[in-house]
Amino acid sequence: MSSSVPLALFMTFLAGSATSLGGFLGLWVREPGPRLISATLGFSAGVMILVSFVELLSSGMQRIGFGLGHVGFFAGMLFMYLVDNLVPHSYFAEEQRSGKRKDLYRTGLLVALGIGIHNFPEGMATFAGALQDFRLGLAIGVAVAVHNVPEGLAVSTPVYLATGSRKKAFMWSFYSGLAEPAGAALAALFLFRFLTNALLGWVLSVVAGIMVYISLDELIPASREYGKDNHAILGAIAGMAVMAVSLWLI
């Protein structure tokens, strides 16, 4: 473990604060460019998929073995599947395209709640990665931060359009982003004191499953929703390429 707990928590806080950045942008850009958002979502998916397989799952299997590593991986995917079904959420663009704009304030609050719950395990993922290795935590943090920006837009835009209050719109996006460091803090409090080499292997494998699920179920479909299919796949390939180079150089 080459990173300290304070550094891991700080990196998670920075990743979560990107939601606030998106919320701030949402106060000034009422109709975010679909190509830009599509590209960033696809890019983030590519980053998270490559990091999950090349770093997280690989490190997990080195500690607990091939079979148990994959058990943890699919357990992480199953966990996110259950979260998705219990607390479904959507991006604001999906609400716009379906014509459901009658209650924008309620939409914004529901999206904030859903994104907050989905951000919780992402905070644990960033913390676990940073605790394992600085460059791994940095890679995960960048990936999470990139896709947190449009999530912040998804929260602040409907609230602002419904209330006209920039402060209220920004604060709701800020609250949803706090789930990232909250997840990291929970991991630090309850996992760190019991963290053995085997437990870390389980955590890394489970986190890999969580991140792959988020990429396949949330980021890539949302990227295709905003743009064309080729935008999504090209963004994902670019994300994988950039992260591969960055992991090699860092």
Q: What is the per-residue pLDDT for 101?
A: 44
CA angle 93, 159, 216 (to 5 degrees): 35
Q: What is the per-residue pLDDT for 198?
A: 85
Residue 194 DSSP class: G
Enumerate residues 6+ apart whose C-beta is below 8 A from 237.
46
> What is the Cβ-side half-sphere exposure of residue 54, based on CA atoms within 13 angstroms?
18
Residue ranges for the chain with pLDDT beneath 70: 1-3, 26, 29-34, 36-37, 40, 87-111, 113-115, 117-118, 147, 150, 154, 157-158, 161-162, 191-193, 195, 226-230, 246-247, 249-250
Q: What is the per-residue pLDDT for 95?
A: 47
Q: What is the per-residue pLDDT for 111?
A: 61
Residue 191 DSSP class: T
The closest of 247, 249, 250 to 59, measured between CA atoms, is 247
Q: What is the dihedral of CA 210, 214, 216, 219, to 10 degrees?
A: -160
Could you tell me the pTM of the whole model?
0.63
Q: pLDDT tens digit string along 81-126?
A: 887 777 655 544 444 444 444 455 665 666 676 667 667 777 877 8
Please state, as a whole number, how many other Cβ atoms lie within 10 Å of the Cβ of residue 76: 29
